[in-house]
Amino acid sequence: MKSLWKKFLALGLAGVLTVSMAACGGKDVTDGTQGGTSAGTQGEEALPEYVYVPEYHTLAKDENGWINNPTFVDGKLYYSAYSFNEETGESKEYYAYRDINDLDTENEMLVEFSLEGKETSMNNCVMDNAGNTYSLWYTYPVYVEGEEYDYDDYSYYLVKHDSTGAEVFAQDLKDVFVDENNSYLQYMTVTEEGKLFASSGNLFYVFNADGTFDKTIPTDADWIQNMVVTEDGKLLYTYYGMQGVEVGEIDTKTGAKGASYKNMPDMNGKMKSAGNGKLLICGMSKLYEYDMATQESTELLAWLDCNVDGSYIQDFEVMDDGRIVVYYDNYSASPEVTILTKTPSSEVVQKQIVTLATLYDGDSNLQQAAVAFNKSSDKYQIKMKSYIDVNAEWTETTYADGLALMNADIISKNAPDIIMLNYTDIQGLASKGAFVDLTPYLEKSTIANKNDFVESVLNAYNFNGVQVTVPAAFNINTLMAKSKYVGNEPGWTLEDVMVLAKEYPDAQLMQYVTKASALQMCLQYNSNSFIDYETGTCSFDSPEFVRVLEFANSFPKEYNYDDESSFPAMIQSGQVLLADVYLSDVQNYQMYRLMMEEEAISIGYPTVDGSAGIYLNSYEMYGIAASSDCIDGAWAFIESTLAKNENNDMHRWNFPSRKDELEEMFAEAMKVDYQYDENGEIMYDEEGNALQWPKTTWGYDDWQAEIYAATQEEIDEIKEMIALAKPQGNGDQTIFTMIMEEAESYFAGQKSAQDVAKVIQSRVEIYVSENS
Interacting residues toward other proteins by CB under 8 A: 3-4, 7-8, 11-27, 404, 407-408, 411-413, 428-429, 432-434, 536-537, 626-627, 734, 738, 742, 745, 750-751, 755, 759, 762-767, 769-772
Strand partners, 237: 227, 248
Task: Considering the complex, state which of residue 413 and residue 652 has its C-beta at the smaller distance from other proteins.
Answer: 413
Element of type H or E holding 578:
strand 576-583
CA dihedral 418, 420, 424, 425 (to 10 degrees): 60
As measured in angstroms, the least distance from the Cβ of 771 to other proteins is 7
Task: Considering the complex, state which of residue 268 and residue 355 has its C-beta at the smaller distance from other proteins.
Answer: 355
Q: How far apart (Å, rounded) are the C-alpha atoms in residues 165 and 202?
A: 32
As measured in angstroms, the least distance from the Cβ of 747 to other proteins is 14
Collapsing DSSP to helix, strand or coil, 44 comes out as helix
Q: Say if residues 367 and 304 touch (Cβ distance below 8 Å).
A: yes
Residue 736 has phi, psi (to 5 degrees) of -60, -45
Task: Considering the complex, state which of residue 454 and residue 759 has its C-beta at the smaller distance from other proteins.
Answer: 759
- Other Cβ atoms closer than 10 A to 120: 16
As measured in angstroms, the least distance from the Cβ of 347 to other proteins is 39
As measured in angstroms, the least distance from the Cβ of 419 to other proteins is 13
- Other Cβ atoms closer than 10 A to 44: 6
Strand partners, 676: 682
Task: Considering the complex, state which of residue 258 and residue 433 has its C-beta at the smaller distance from other proteins.
Answer: 433
Q: How far are the Cα atoms of 424, 524, 538, 546 from residue 764, in angstroms, in the given order?
A: 22, 16, 7, 15
CA 403 vs. chain centroid, Å, equals 19
As measured in angstroms, the least distance from the Cβ of 433 to other proteins is 5
As measured in angstroms, the least distance from the Cβ of 12 to other proteins is 7
As measured in angstroms, the least distance from the Cβ of 298 to other proteins is 34
Burial track 65-101 (b if 16+ CB lie within 10 A, e otherwise): eebbbbbbeeebbbbbbbbeeeeeeeeebbbbbbebe
Task: Considering the complex, state which of residue 370 and residue 429 has its C-beta at the smaller distance from other proteins.
Answer: 429
Residue 653 has phi, psi (to 5 degrees) of -110, 20
| C-alpha triplet 17, 20, 21: angle, nearest 5° | 105
Task: Considering the complex, state which of residue 399 and residue 485 has its C-beta at the smaller distance from other proteins.
Answer: 399
Task: Considering the complex, state which of residue 328 and residue 545 has its C-beta at the smaller distance from other proteins.
Answer: 545
- Other Cβ atoms closer than 10 A to 359: 18
Collapsing DSSP to helix, strand or coil, 447 comes out as coil
As measured in angstroms, the least distance from the Cβ of 461 to other proteins is 19
Task: Considering the complex, state which of residue 244 and residue 536 has its C-beta at the smaller distance from other proteins.
Answer: 536
As measured in angstroms, the least distance from the Cβ of 415 to other proteins is 8
Task: Considering the complex, state which of residue 363 and residue 765 has its C-beta at the smaller distance from other proteins.
Answer: 765
As measured in angstroms, the least distance from the Cβ of 707 to other proteins is 46
Task: Considering the complex, state which of residue 264 and residue 410 has its C-beta at the smaller distance from other proteins.
Answer: 410
Q: Say if residues 119 and 141 touch (Cβ distance below 8 Å).
A: yes
Q: How far apart (Å, rounded) are the C-alpha atoms in residues 200 and 198?
A: 7
